[in-house]
Structure 1
Amino acid sequence: MEQNLSLYHIFNTVAETGNISKAAKELYISQPAISKAISKLEQNLDIPLFIRNSRGVKLTDEGKVLYEHTRKAFDSLIKGEDTIRKINELEIGHIRIGVSTTLCKYILLPYLKKFIKDNPHIKISISCQSTFHTMKLLEENKIDIGLIGKPDNLKELDFYSIDEIEDVFVATKTYVENLKLRELNDHADIFQTANILLLDEENITRHYIDDYFYRNNIQINNALEISNMDLLIEFARIGLGIACVIKDFVKKDLASGTLIEIPLDFPIQKREIGFAYSNKAVLSNSMEKFIQFYKKGLTH
């Protein structure tokens, strides 16, 4: 088939022009070369494709059938070339991003706002799930890039840190005062008796905090698991308990006094968050643009 493609191109041009001389001019090859190509194609198919006469050539019935197929094929190729040119001219592309709901709302959206403004023809698909799920999707090549908290093992991922986050415990002042009324004065007793609101175990933040509890011998008796951080914050605001949240996401609450930060004997170390993608992936032009965008820090 590959060797016959040029023959079909010549056949299609002759069929459209109805004249070998015109086809030769259009294809910039000699008339004998045209005639030879047609003869070879007819031999390959073992059937005449044209009827020759003094005015030119006319398709046989079998030639008409073949022409219907070659015409559609070459029209499709032309449309394909036009599409590729348009993609190149408009820089059209597609990026699939994986991110947790929380990081999407507070971190990714500001990035995307500027990136989309500068690259309006790049399609963005967002898949919201835990960091662990995002890493799995990256391994399976189901997404192009993920915004994640830096895991202990990056495996085959390239990771670029864009910020640090700080985990804190917060509650309403009323909730803490009620705990003190029950003569709970030291921090350990607060953690043992209070409702501690945590993300579920599929979240990398939960693993990080569980490790913090283990290393510092902090025992939690009443842990309530919540599916996402926005709900954690809302439950803390209504006085349900002490919530482990990212400090930057409750700045306004802390400033207004809606929530207060629970002091810790052992501070929680800050964590890195950033964009990760497979180091085995072949990067598209759109991905290259996005990588350069966040590395330049255009939103800061």
Structure 2
Amino acid sequence: MNQNLSSYRIFYTVANAGNISKAAKELYISQPAISKSIQKLEESLGCKLFSRSSRGVVLTEEGNLLYGHVRDAFETLTLGEDKLKRSIELGVGHLRIGVSTTLCKYMLLPYLKEFIKRNPHISISINCQSTNETLKLLDDNKIDIGLIGKPDNLKNIQFYYLDNIKDIFVATGDYLSHLSQRGIKEDEILQNSTLMLLDKNNMTRQYIDDYLQENQITVADSIDISNMDLLIDFAKIGVGVACVIKSFVKKELEDGTLTEIPLGIPIHEREVGFAYKSNLKPSKSLQTFIDFYENYHPEES
């Protein structure tokens, strides 16, 4: 575009008014200034845009062609301004959240349910990835906030603690009974069972691998599974021993569907919470979400 927006604003106003003096009053500028702007625009485009009549000015054929495009452009700008004003008035915004499938289902949903209820004009997109991938998306500014297991390095990360999670190993009573019939002792179960773990890209898996290595537990047979729900489902049908988060199988432990396998050395609990970049000013939508979760307690609702 060779001309600045003000030149087209003047052209558009004159075309609508059909009169330079009316356009001057509407734009709060002098008639000579309008005439000079139109002349400059015509010289730049190499054609006449208006012809004079007894009633004022009318568009030439070339001017009418240009007017159609300019009109569409200004109508689009007006629509954009209106939408922006409404979004400010209503608190409209967009929030991008990164979270693992497991934490999304068991921890994020209660927060989202109430947040959406209180802030219906903020649209939300969810990117389900592992904690490691969520941290990378956060670093690349592809999400605004993540629900993650607390990483060892919190550089440029503001972390808000929500809860502790405890990893345990579970299996059905029948599966454990079969191991016992084979002479497998309680402290030998992990080494002699089909161990079901999350895939190796998952931070939980890396945490459990470290635990097994530190305690010199050699796994003979293992299955990598993509998410926690499948781990729980496979354990419930007796495929093997699954490493799961204790609070996520509370019902199954209470009704006896699954049994927790006692460990000589328990797995340390981990912290889970919301994280966002501390070196960036939060958007209005993110700040609204931060204020919300810092004062909201799902168990009280």
- With normalisation by structure 1, the TM-score equals 0.91
Answering whether residue 193 of structure 2 is matched by residue 185 of structure 1, we say: no
Taking the TM superposition and a 5 Å limit, the aligned residue runs for 1:48-197 are 48-187=48-187, 189-197=188-196
Shift of residue 271, structure 1, vs aligned partner: 0.3
Number of equivalenced pairs: 299
Query: Using the alignment, how far apart are the partners of 1:195 and 1:212 within structure 2?
Result: 17
Shift of residue 15, structure 1, vs aligned partner: 0.8
Query: Using the alignment, how far apart are the partners of 2:44 and 2:164 within structure 1?
Result: 68
Change (3 A) 1:174 1:52: same
Q: SS in structure 2 opposite 1:125?
A: strand
Which position in structure 1 is the counterpart of 2:5?
A: 5
Taking the TM superposition and a 5 Å limit, the aligned residue runs for 1:21-36 are 21-36=21-36
What code does the residue aligned with 1:13 have? T
Shift of residue 208, structure 1, vs aligned partner: 0.5
Which position in structure 2 is the counterpart of 1:265?
A: 264
Shift of residue 245, structure 1, vs aligned partner: 0.8
What code does the residue aligned with 2:222 have? A
Query: Using the alignment, how far apart are the partners of 2:38 and 2:28 within structure 1?
Result: 16
- In structure 2, runs of 5+ residues without a counterpart are none
Query: Using the alignment, how far apart are the partners of 2:2 and 2:44 within structure 1?
Result: 13
Check conservation: 2:193, 2:221, Cα contact below 8 A: yes
Q: SS in structure 2 opposite 1:205?
A: helix
Q: SS in structure 2 opposite 1:179?
A: helix
Query: Using the alignment, how far apart are the partners of 2:221 and 2:44 within structure 1?
Result: 81
Could you tell which deviates more after superposition, 77-86 or 231-240?
231-240
Check conservation: 2:3, 2:41, Cα contact below 8 A: no
Could you tell which deviates more after superposition, 279-288 or 63-72?
279-288
- With normalisation by structure 2, the TM-score equals 0.90
Aligned Cα root-mean-square deviation (Å): 2.2
Identity percentage of aligned residues: 61
Could you tell which deviates more after superposition, 154-163 or 237-246?
154-163
Which position in structure 1 is the counterpart of 2:298?
A: 299
Query: Using the alignment, how far apart are the partners of 1:180 and 1:46 within structure 2?
Result: 94
Shift of residue 3, structure 1, vs aligned partner: 6.6
Query: Using the alignment, how far apart are the partners of 2:285 and 2:274 within structure 1?
Result: 15
